[in-house]
Structure 1
């Protein structure tokens, strides 16, 4: 887990190390440790991950510009790919409520047909939806 400040523009650089995890639960542990230091709350959902990227209750403030460097991104892409995503959706469908199983089944069908997003794709999309965050895959 790394956090540093760049000298060129004082932008915080946060490192997510794909070598530290091999599944979604491990990703949540990694980002909780990197982004939520000294905070009792930990990330445990995709929505929770999105929430912490707004800043204000972790290692950076609301609207502060940061750079996230995702080391070993290729490893993460493989491990959070098709198989992990299929299992993720199947668990939610099996659990049922409170999940919208029809929507999740549609996402699973799209994934299997090659048109849907993997967990890795979803995580990247979440990060890139935050204008103040620059993402670098390493």
Structure 2
């Protein structure tokens, strides 16, 4: 990677959190220092990545992969289903069903997919 001054380098430290709420807090501290709101949803995480150019290094990504894995994802979907509206219960149930039969994505995989969907970002898993 060249040293273009427009490029940024950010480090997500997986040892700083052990659940999705902690991930949002880490991301808010990294990307939202001067803002009066914090990231609290997957869509919000996706939104803050627009305009970011450079590299994101995810330290302790294996820990995050475990922390945001199968069990955390099941709990995530079950909580959304219990909350009901405004969430799409049918879609959430479908995603939960896919996960339980081994075809769905974990939260970690969803977060990785969100980052990789931004072509101006290079993701480095450490």
TM-score range, shorter chain: over 0.9
Match of 2:116 in 1: 128
Larger helix fraction of residues: 2
CA offset at residue 39 of structure 1? 1.2
Alignment equivalent of 1:49, drawn from 45, 49, 59: 45
| 2:111 paired with 1:116 | no
User: For the residues of structure 2 that align with 1:24 and 1:52, how far apart are their CA atoms?
Assistant: 16
- Secondary structure (helix, strand or coil) at the match of 2:82 reads helix
Match of 1:81 in 2: 69
- Secondary structure (helix, strand or coil) at the match of 1:130 reads coil
Q: How many residues align?
A: 125
Matches within 5 A, 1:9-88: 9-10=4-5, 11-54=7-50, 62=51, 64-88=52-76
User: For the residues of structure 2 that align with 1:111 and 1:88, how far apart are their CA atoms?
Assistant: 12
Query: RCO higher in 1 or 2 (8 Å CA, sep ≥ 6)?
Result: 2
CA offset at residue 8 of structure 1? 3.0
Match of 1:58 in 2: none
User: For the residues of structure 2 that align with 1:7 and 1:126, how far apart are their CA atoms?
Assistant: 24
- List alignment gaps of at least 5 residues for structure 1: 1-5, 55-61
- List alignment gaps of at least 5 residues for structure 2: none
Relative to structure 1, the CA distance from residue 7 to residue 132 in structure 2 (aligned partners, 3 Å threshold; closer, same or farther) is closer
CA offset at residue 41 of structure 1? 1.3
User: For the residues of structure 1 that align with 2:103 and 2:82, how far apart are their CA atoms?
Assistant: 22
- Secondary structure (helix, strand or coil) at the match of 1:41 reads coil
